[in-house]
Structure 1
Amino acid sequence: MGLFGPGSVTWRVHDEPILALGGLRALFLQALHPRAIAGVVQNSGYKADPWGRLFRTITYVATTIYGTTDEAQAAGRRVRAVHQRMYATDPISGQRFRVDEPELLRWVHVTEVDSYATTARRAGLQLTDDEWDGYWSEQRRRAPLVGLDPTSVPGTATDAAAYLAEVRPELKMTRDAADTLVFLSVPPPPWRPAAGATGQSWRRRTLTMLGSGPFRAASFGIALTAFSLLPPWARRLYGGLGLPTTDLGATVSARSLRLVLNSMPHRWYEGPLYQAAMARAAAAAPTPS
Structure 2
Amino acid sequence: MIFQRVAGPDGPAVRARIHGTPGPRWFAPGRPIRTVHGDASMFIGGIGALLLQSLHPLAMAAVAAHSGYRGDPWGRLQRTSAFLAVTTYGTAADAQAAVDRVRDIHRRVRGTTSQGQPYDAADPHLLGWVHAAETESFLRAHERFGRHPLDPARYDAYVADTAVVAEALGVLDPPRDRRALSRRLAAYRPELRATPEARAAARFLLIEPPLPLALRPVYGVLAANAVSQLPSWARHLLRLPRVPLVEDLTVVPAGRLLTRTVRWALPPAPGG
TM (norm. structure 2) is: 0.84
How far 1:31 moved relative to its partner? 0.5
Aligned match of 1:51 in 74, 79, 100? 74
Taking a change above 3 Å as real, the CA distance of residues 7 and 225 of structure 1, as seen in their structure-2 partners, is: closer
Q: How does 1:1-289 map to 2 (within 5 A)?
A: 1-92=24-115, 94-124=116-146, 125-149=148-172, 152-185=173-206, 186-189=208-211, 212-242=212-242, 244-245=244-245, 248=248, 250-264=251-265, 266-267=266-267, 270=268, 274-275=269-270, 278=271
> Partners of 1:218 and 1:7 in 2: how far apart?
30
SS at match of 1:97: strand
SS at match of 1:108: helix
Task: Quote the RMSD (CA, aligned, Å).
Answer: 1.9
Count of aligned positions: 246
Question: Are the aligned partners of 1:31 and 1:180 in contact in 2 as well (CA < 8 Å)?
Answer: yes
Residues 213-267 of structure 1 deviation map (CA, whole Å, 9 limit, x = unaligned): 2223432332122112111111111112245546635543332223222333x42
> Partners of 1:78 and 1:123 in 2: how far apart?
32
Residue 14 of structure 2 is matched in structure 1 by none
Residues 92-117 of structure 1 deviation map (CA, whole Å, 9 limit, x = unaligned): 3x122212111110011111111111
> Partners of 2:89 and 2:163 in 1: how far apart?
15
Question: Are the aligned partners of 1:122 and 1:254 in contact in 2 as well (CA < 8 Å)?
Answer: no
**Equivalent position amino acid for 1:227 in 2:** V
Residues 24-59 of structure 1 deviation map (CA, whole Å, 9 limit, x = unaligned): 110010001111000111112221111111111100
Unaligned runs of 5+ in 1: 190-211, 282-289
Taking a change above 3 Å as real, the CA distance of residues 188 and 76 of structure 1, as seen in their structure-2 partners, is: same
**Equivalent position amino acid for 2:120 in 1:** R
- Runs of 4+ in structure 1 off by over 6 angstroms are none
SS at match of 1:105: helix
TM (norm. structure 1) is: 0.79
SS at match of 2:108: coil
> Partners of 1:260 and 1:102 in 2: how far apart?
38
SS at match of 1:84: helix
> Partners of 1:9 and 1:246 in 2: how far apart?
32
Question: Are the aligned partners of 1:83 and 1:100 in contact in 2 as well (CA < 8 Å)?
Answer: yes
> Partners of 1:263 and 1:239 in 2: how far apart?
34
SS at match of 1:21: helix
How far 1:136 moved relative to its partner? 0.6
Question: Are the aligned partners of 2:87 and 2:165 in contact in 1 as well (CA < 8 Å)?
Answer: yes
> Partners of 1:245 and 1:100 in 2: how far apart?
42
Question: Are the aligned partners of 2:227 and 2:240 in contact in 1 as well (CA < 8 Å)?
Answer: no
Q: Which moved more, 1:238-247 or 1:83-92?
A: 238-247
